Structure 1
Amino acid sequence: MTADQLAGEVQEFLRFKRAMGIPYRRAEFVLDAFMRFVGQLAGDHGEVRLDHAIRRWCARVADRKAVTVANEFGVLRQLCLYRRRRDPSGYVPEHALAPVKVSVFLPYIFNHDEVRRILAAASSHEGRFIWAPMLRALILVLYCTGLRLGEAVRLRTSDVDLERGALTIQHSKGRSRIVAIRPDLVAELRGYAAERQRLVRRRRRSDPEVFFVRRDASPLTVASASDAIRRLLRELGIKPARGRTGARPYEFRHAFAVHRLTAWASDGVDIHAKLPLLSAYLGHQSLIGTEVYLKATPQLLELASSRFEQHLRAARPSK
């Protein structure tokens, strides 16, 4: 098999996945990178030994996170399984080549005092492109709803229903969902919406129809929102002054989930029964993505352990 032939099979595989309604965008990125790697090994017309290429691909960079290697390997294994439908003798790598399936990464969880400090800093922010009312409203949406940063930034004015108290998340991770919001967040967003309308009029430009806009009334981008929040976290000492370590904008989503679970546990609610509701609210594709929050903080673990002990005591027969 040549690299050209393999490239054709990759395109067939992507069409097959998308015919089933799977966007497969990240997987396409992995496959494109793999095909460039194959081209470097064999040239476009040279013979390709798929088993050799996949092993070299998985080991191409030293000290990569095992979960990253496993995720990329999973895409290639799916391609091999697809090829085997046509060729029963086709190579399919064993899982042992990249066995890690679950990330051991634990997110940074903002405590309530940190959230208050972040909001205070956002409320007084003065930037060239990022203005305080917008930054405060964005952070409130992230923390109070657990939306992904991209989901929040892409909200259109028509997606924000302040009469019903609901946000419509359009086509995120292959699906759409409606997220209910609390009355206090509705009040905050009403205030921002009024400020936003005044800004658009003052700038004398047509309404961009996105909910979050920059100081010049142009649409906010994920990159500029992420940069502004990271700078805020560094200024407050929550994130180191340099490097990629420490808290990230995505941490507001983690904080929302953990604080919600902790509040349920403190109220004596069966948090495992609530997990499906939280999973649907967050837009997770399965409960696996939500269950990781159960081990995110010592406080939540302690509460869960205490509730389980009380359950065992209640279940024991009296003597």
Structure 2
Amino acid sequence: MVDTEADALERHAELLHAYARHLGAERGRSVHTRRAYLGDVRHLLGFASRRGIDEIGDLRIGDLRAWLGSQADAGAARATIARRAASARTFLRWAEHTGRISSDPSLRLVAPKRHASLPGVLRQGEASEMLDLAAVRADDEDPIHVRDRAVLELLYASGIRVGELAALDIDDVDLSQGVVRVMGKGAKERIVPFGAPAGRAIQGWLAVRPRLVGDQSGPALFLGRRGRRVDARQVRSVVHELLSHLPDAPDLGPHGLRHSAATHLLEGGADLRMVQEILGHASLATTQIYTHVSVDRLRRSYEQAHPRA
């Protein structure tokens, strides 16, 4: 009797559980990253089951290439295929190191390179308009509007990720020094500076925060209307809603503010390695995409302004 895909995943439940523990306890991966990695591995195991492969030790390089090829045939994006290839390599390397397989078949697995797409960013004037609008709304003293202003100012000032912002506690912010302590990917802590406008917005929020505090607030810096720690979805809604009032601005989420902060730092003359440190990138190559953004915008401005462009 041939196993169904569900049977295969059930048979590998202990393996997946052990791998999840490894990603969390030993690699320090976030919940979101663990979910993505495990989803990719389940996809691989399901594909292997349909090919009659019951044990991961029976996987060969040809099976892995066929798996990636089937996704390309189904129209999967290059970035998705590249991520799944990386997930498979990480999983099979772990399986070999823990003695679950005798050799790693993914050593020669090559995935298509991702397109180096340029991230969407706000122009400096658009960022200022957005923050000015947030400040005007905060004048009504609704604590949520005061919070929104502080959230947007801090996101743009620091370039931190939305998940990092949602996880901040009150003690993570040092207003006297103008810095925030952030726990980034891989449980790596970094100190990120922010400017005076963000500091004033945070002070304004801390003054009204007690009006939202409830039993589940704890030390969370930013709260929702019911007193719980703000979550990433709420922050995304705030960014999209504010930008919807600016007719010429692109529709970006919190990550767009991170891109904008990095681009504007480089346009202002910041050192690339300093920007890498602020953003918490493990590789300088990741940060270098923002130099392309700046050059691209410079080229567009030149073409619009020079009579012989």
Q: For the superposition of Structure 1 and Structure 2, which TM-score range results when normalised by the shorter chain?
A: 0.7 to 0.9
CA 1:110–1:285 in 2, change beyond 3 Å: closer, same or farther?
A: same
Tell me how far 1:289 sits from its aligned partner: 1.4
What amino acid maps onto 2:283 in structure 1?
S
CA RMSD of aligned residues (A): 3.7
Counterparts in 2 of 1:25-44, with a 5 A limit? 25=34, 26-39=36-49, 42=52
Offset from partner CA, 1:135-174 (integer Å, 9 cap, x none): 1111100101101111112211121221332211135432
The answer to whether residue 224 in structure 2 is matched with residue 214 in structure 1 is: yes
Which one of the candidate residues 160, 165, 170 is aligned to 1:152?
165
What is the CA deviation profile of residues 235-292 of structure 1, one whole-angstrom value per residue up to 9, with x for unaligned ones?
Answer: 433577xxxxx5222111111111111111xxxxxx6xx2222211211112121111
Mapped contact 1:131–1:215 kept (Cα < 8 A)? yes
Instruction: Give me the TM-score of the superposition, normalised by structure 2.
Output: 0.75
| Cα distance in 1, alignment partners of residues 61 and 18 from structure 2 | 20
Q: 1:34 to 1:125 in 2, by over 3 A?
A: farther
Identify the residue that residue 71 of structure 2 maps to in structure 1.
60
1:110 aligns with 2:84: no
Matched, 1:291 2:304: no
The Cα of 1:105 is off from its aligned counterpart by 1.6
8 Å CA contact 2:178–2:194 kept in 1: the answer is yes
* Residue number in structure 2 paired with 1:317: none
TM-score, L = length of structure 1: 0.73
**Structure 1: runs of 5+ lacking an equivalent:** 241-245, 265-270, 303-319
What secondary structure is seen at the aligned counterpart in 2 of 1:296?
Answer: helix
The equivalent position to 2:272 in structure 1, one of 275, 285, 295, is 275
- 2:187 aligns with 174
C-alpha spacing 1:117/1:51, structure 2 compared with 1 (3 Å): same
SS at match of 2:168: coil
One-letter code of the match for 2:71? R
Counterpart of 1:261 (choices 249, 261, 266) is: 266
Alpha-carbon offset, residue 192 of structure 1:
1.9
Per-residue CA deviations over 1:152-202 (Å, capped at 9, x if unaligned) read 1221112122133221113543211122222342222212211223x23xx
Give the drift of 1:109.
1.4
Superposed CA offset, 1:31-68 (max 9, x none)? 23333444455496899655465344322362222122
Give the Cα separation in 2 of the matches to 1:35 and 1:9: 11
Which residue of structure 2 aligns with residue 74 of structure 1?
86
My pick for the range that moved more, 205-214 or 134-143, is 205-214
| CA 230–217 in structure 1, closer or farther in 2 if over 3 Å, else same | same
Q: Share of identical aligned residues, percent?
A: 22
Q: Which is further off, 279-288 or 10-19? A: 10-19
Over 3 Å counting, the alpha-carbon distance change for 1:48 and 1:235 in structure 2 is farther
Between the two proteins, the alignment pairs up a number of residues equal to: 282
Q: Is the 8 A contact 1:110 1:252 kept in 2?
A: yes
The within-5 A match list for 1:210-249 is: 210-237=220-247, 246-249=251-254
CA gap 1:41/1:293 in 2 versus in 1, 3 angstroms: same
Give the whole-Å Cα distance in 2 for the aligned partners of 1:204 and 1:152: 20
